Amino acid sequence: MPDKVYKKVELVGASNVSIEKAIEAAYEKASKSIHNLRWFEVQEVRGNFDGGKPLYQVTLKAGFRLDGE
């Protein structure tokens, strides 16, 4: 079995519904241009109030396997 190599990138997802939806938004957008996304680490959860309603922001480090691996 060959060795595998991964790379990490930082993503920020936002949602006015939930933290989970913010994570899903980051994944869905990133997966259109980054292939082989495998895992993520939540680095930070924050938010603000947009018109009196919460807007959730989640900073993730996501890992993906490099092509040819």
**pLDDT for 1:** 54
pTM of the predicted structure, to 2 decimals: 0.85
- Assigned token pair, 68: 């040819």
The CATH class that applies to domain 6-65 reads: alpha beta
**pLDDT for 4:** 85
CA neighbor of 9 nearest in space, from 37, 28, 48: 37
**pLDDT for 14:** 97
Show me where the domains of the chain are located: 6-65
Is the per-residue pLDDT at 2 higher than 90?
no
